[in-house]
Amino acid sequence: MQRIVLFLATNIAVLALVSILVKALGLEQYLATQGVGTNLTGLLIICGLFGFVGSFVSLLLSKTMAKMGTGTRIIKQPATADERWLVETVAELAKKADIGMPEVGIFPAQQSNAFATGWNKNSALVAVSEGLLQRFGRDEARAVLAHEIGHVANGDMVTLALIQGVVNTFVMFLARILGTIIDRVVFKNERGQGFGYFAIVMVLQLVLGVLASMIVMAFSRWREYRADAAGAKFATRGAMIAALQRLRAETEAHVPNQLPDTLTALGISSGWKQHASRLFMTHPPLEERIEALRRGV
């Protein structure tokens, strides 16, 4: 609950700060002199509500959506030695990380992967693929689980939702400001909100959304290094490196990622995927993660 309160407080603080800057810089007065009458503070609050509420709802539903999207089967009562080992290992690692016991599950995928999600560190879900359980040694699988527990302990899901909320807010805000100005200047619409305005806003939201996603992806890559470090701490550095090396071997073999696109950032590996640019990658290259662990970063 503390993380949710912090999440909401930070969002409100961001909106308040930007509202103060809008007033201090005299942006409303400037636009008024250009013939564009817009209540920037009101617009910012509306965009903030849409941006943050959507992100907040996604965070609250993250476990349910992850289970549905991956077909994850929750282990309520271990039926095999592997399931018993899995639950006991997650419990041990959760205790080390000082978090509540997560739900533990297995999802049907031949690719070696795992993910963690949940709205707070004491109500999380940690799941591994069938392929990982079949091919990874116990030490390597334990390191992967430690990596995922690291995500939970670091509060990465909440932080990612916060960043996404801020990004959503400013994409909508800037698209509408620029749309109003362009509609007035180019299409000569006196009110600044004609048909051209709506078309321009849609295009600008798409373009700005792509650019803003680079910020989200940068955080996603950075948090993988932190989770790797947690994996090395809660398991061992050697086991974490060995697990990443095995994942790299599958990537080099072009084993496809079987996680849904909406969950790729939550997995320990994005699998093999062609990227137009590193800026849009959810995970750093595995060789760089391995090297960071070797250097003790």
- Rg of the chain (C-alpha set): 22
Q: State the residue for tokens 């699998």.
A: 271
Cα 210–chain centre separation:
15
**CB contact at 8 A, 282 and 269:** no
Which DSSP letter does residue 267 get? B
Active site residue 28: no
Which residue in 103, 140, 148, 250 is the catalytic one? 148
Residue 134 to residue 124: CA distance in whole angstroms? 24
**CB contact at 8 A, 214 and 201:** no
104 closest CA partner among 140, 141, 137, 136:
141
User: Which H or E element spans position 185?
Assistant: helix 156-185
Read off φ and ψ for residue 267, nearest 5 degrees. Answer: -75, 165
Q: Under 8 Å CB-to-CB from 93, ≥6 apart: which residues?
A: 142, 145, 146, 149, 234, 235
Q: Under 8 Å CB-to-CB from 259, ≥6 apart: which residues?
A: 70, 109, 111, 113, 115, 266, 267, 271
**How far lies 216's CA from each of 149, 172, 221, in Å?**
21, 16, 9
Which DSSP letter does residue 245 get? H
* Active site amino acids: 148
